[in-house]
Chain A
Amino acid sequence: MPLETLFQFINLAFIIVPIIIGLVVGSLVERRHYRSIRRRETDTMAQPAVPLGLSALSGVTIERAHLVTGSTVVAMDAFKAVLAGLRFLFGGRVGGYESLIDRARREATLRMKVAAGDADAILNVRLETFAIGGRFGGSGALTSVEAVAYGTAVWVGSGPKR
């Protein structure tokens, strides 16, 4: 009988421990990621990435242009996955998913800028997201998301930039 209780306790620990780790480490990882995103966004402010076509650069000669992409897959932590699971019972805003997708999109955009190197601007930026189901939190539940950002990097010739 005590052995059975021990097994039950171990089973419970397998559920509780990841949630606690997720709460502590997950929020730390997210805060650090957001700090890094904000810093790099400020650093790359001079290189605009806009969802506009060539109209954004009318009257400017473009010397070179090519396609650039950036992508990332970001996973949600166990604590947020459980919170999101509860949200599906009560309805309402699912904050965990919001920040997950936001981080993925902004990270992908930043990587696209890195791929563009010293380009003057990135035009016609498109963002795509793709949900990747995982095991945690039940079958097919969203636990990670891929974001892809792509656009045409352009280098302008001599003359006024932008």
Chain B
Amino acid sequence: MLLSNLETVPGRTVVEFFGLVSGSTVRAKHAGRDIMAGIKNIFGGELIAYTELLKDSRDEAIDRMIRQAQGMGANAIVNIRFSTSSVAQGAAEIYVYGTAVRVQ
């Protein structure tokens, strides 16, 4: 599956459009990570556990979007956008969407 956040896949011609595909996931941080993050909030710096958590969530959302596109018979997704929203204290929703197309 070719992924791109441009309007096309560079160097390829789009032959068929399938429409919007999206994937989302809601993840909560667990208490252990929260305590570690609390300590890190004294010193400042990167919260590696959170970085990993959100990165994993984003990968999963992308996977779900890819599966939806595969189901349509697409071989590329263009114009991909990410968005994150806070659904509750300590939980985040990662949403990714794009346009499923077939390229040569």
Chain A residues at the B interface, C-beta cutoff of 8 Å: 18, 21-22, 25-26, 29-30, 33, 53-54, 57, 61-67, 69, 71-78, 80-81, 107, 123-124, 126, 128, 130-136, 140, 143-144, 146, 148, 150-152, 154
Q: Answer whether residue B11 sits at the interface, using C-beta atoms and an 8 A cutoff.
A: yes
- In the bound complex, residues from chain B placing their C-beta under 8 Å from that of A54 are 6-8, 10
Say whether chain A's binding surface is mostly helix, strand, loop, or mixed: strand
- In the bound complex, residues from chain A placing their C-beta under 8 Å from that of B37 are 75, 134, 144
Q: How many residues of B contact A (CB 8 A)?
A: 34
Whether B4 contacts A21 by the Cβ 8 Å rule is no
Interface centre among B34, B38, B44, B89 (most CB of A within 10 A): B44
Which 8 pairs of residues, A with B, have the shortest CB-CB distance?
A77-B44, A62-B10, A67-B3, A26-B44, A73-B50, A130-B84, A73-B47, A18-B42
Contacts between the two chains (Cβ within 8 Å), count: 131
- In the bound complex, residues from chain A placing their C-beta under 8 Å from that of B86 are 130-131, 133
CB-nearest residue of chain B to A33: B45
- In the bound complex, residues from chain B placing their C-beta under 8 Å from that of A76 are 41, 44
**In the complex, A136 Cα to B50 Cα: how many Å?**
16
Interface centre among B4, B34, B89 (most CB of A within 10 A): B4
Whether A148 contacts B82 by the Cβ 8 Å rule is yes
**In the complex, A107 Cα to B54 Cα: how many Å?**
15
